[in-house]
Structure 1
Amino acid sequence: MKSTFDVSDKLFELYHRVHRLVNESMTEEGVSLARSKFLFFLSKLGPCRSTDIACALNFAPRTVTEAIDGLERDKLVERKPDPEDRRAKIVSITDVGRVVLEAAEHPRKQLIEEIFSALDDEQLDQMYDIVSRLVVKADEIRKRKEDAELTPAEAAQ
């Protein structure tokens, strides 16, 4: 019988291997996995402020600014003045960014399909259910930790 630590280590090993393979295949098409997250976000939700991106992706504002600088330099996104706040900029994906994102998505999907072809449909359903239960449990633990960090006055609100 495998211990929870054995299973956890194997899940982390899988995650890192898949992450590395996906990143390599996407980078060959012109955009890394990290950069594609920004492009995907902008393609789905449309133009927004960098602070919105940082909040949605749970990145530090400085990290987002640096990433946007690089994406803009490569003509994958553009910044325009925010009509509601002259201090802020609105970031949007360019046509070039859409083409690059689409080109990188194909090998990512192909690679994921190939990896998961090791499982039959029943195993895939079981894995989905198991991972979903673990996600729910992790969310419960995160919420419990966040609630414990609140001051009594904050908790009362």
Structure 2
Amino acid sequence: MQAAAVETAEALETIQREMTAFARRARASAGRMHPELSLVSYTLLGHLEESGGCRATDLAAHYALDKSTVSRQVAALERAGLIGRRPDPEDHRVQVLHLTDAGRRILAQVTESRRAAFRERLAGWDAADLERFAEYLTRYNAAG
């Protein structure tokens, strides 16, 4: 194998290993930031806030999740009083999910905790490294 191919294979292996560690850490830290709010729940609440509300099927499609997974998460978030349902103004047969006031408060608390954790973890990085890292993450996620 050529040296460049070996280096590429090693880099890809390192990326895979580090992304796996990142995902595990993100799931574990979500529970510490708010015990009842899983990482999936947090991301669903975030999307509902960004979108101003949407259908459960839209959430499933956006995150490429199985509808049953989203259904369970939505049910739990409803039981916790973090989201509610409203009829879609354009089609009253359809229910649109939206954040409740309690959902907005919890999302804001968890978001601030996550930002603080990122600030702490990245405190020693210079601005150029942060900008490059942000660019690489954006590029990586856009490809997926």
**Pairs within 5 Å for 1:72-91:** 72-91=78-97
Greater Rg over alpha carbons, structure: 1
Relative to structure 1, the CA distance from residue 9 to residue 39 in structure 2 (aligned partners, 3 Å threshold; closer, same or farther) is: same
TM-score by length of 1: 0.70
% identity of equivalent residues: 26
The answer for unaligned runs of 5 or more in structure 2 is none
Relative to structure 1, the CA distance from residue 57 to residue 12 in structure 2 (aligned partners, 3 Å threshold; closer, same or farther) is: same
Task: Indicate yes or no: 2:140 matched with 1:135.
Answer: yes
Relative to structure 1, the CA distance from residue 4 to residue 35 in structure 2 (aligned partners, 3 Å threshold; closer, same or farther) is: same
Q: Which of 59, 64, 68 is the aligned partner of 1:62?
A: 68
Q: Deviations over 1:115-146 (max 9, x none)?
A: 333533333344445x269639x83xx7xxxx
Give, as a single letter, the amino acid of the residue that structure 2 aligns with 1:42.
L
Distance 2:12 2:104 in 1: 36
Aligned residues of 1:80 and 1:90 also touching (Cα < 8 A): yes
Task: Indicate yes or no: 2:128 matched with 1:122.
Answer: yes
Q: How much has 1:52 moved relative to structure 2?
A: 1.9
Q: Deviations over 1:29-48 (max 9, x none)?
A: 32222111110011111122
Relative to structure 1, the CA distance from residue 117 to residue 7 in structure 2 (aligned partners, 3 Å threshold; closer, same or farther) is: farther
Give, as a single letter, the amino acid of the residue that structure 2 aligns with 1:47.
G
Distance 2:17 2:69 in 1: 26
Q: CA RMSD in A?
A: 2.8
Q: Deviations over 1:64-118 (max 9, x none)?
A: 2221111111111112333543442111111111111111112211222233335
The answer for unaligned runs of 5 or more in structure 1 is 143-157
> 35-44 or 57-66: which moved more?
57-66
Task: Indicate yes or no: 2:26 matched with 1:5.
Answer: no
Task: Indicate yes or no: 2:32 matched with 1:28.
Answer: yes
**Pairs within 5 Å for 1:146-157:** none
